[in-house]
Amino acid sequence: MWATWCPPCRLQNHILDFYYFIGLKNEDELVKISLDQDLRQLKKYLKGKSLKNHFIDQSNQFFNQEIIKGTPTILTIDRDGKVIDFKMGVSFIF
């Protein structure tokens, strides 16, 4: 969970992209969900970047359910869709 207006989120995105680059994580294992309401700003930020596994939570579904309290947040979800762990803030180890 991230947003373009969140400097720590942008740092977290660079960390994730680096993990992909060096082969530490597979892109299919991670999904980036933007909480941005300003789609113009989001499109500007993502221009020239890989859009694989990027989604938008314009309805604030995650915030409305009080699953996410702040950004960036990393959720670990099992195969049944159950949240088994979460980390809030910039994280260098998953």
Q: What is the 3-state secondary structure (H, E, C) of the chain?
A: CECCCCHHHHHHHHHHHHHHHHCCCCHHHCCEEECCCCHHHHHHHHCCCCCCCEEECCCCHHHHCCCCCCCCEEEEECCCCCEEEEEECCCCCC
pLDDT at 7: 95
Summarize the confidence of residues 11-30 as an average pLDDT: 81
pLDDT single digits (tens) 23-46: 877 666 778 889 898 889 998 988
pTM of the predicted protein model: 0.78
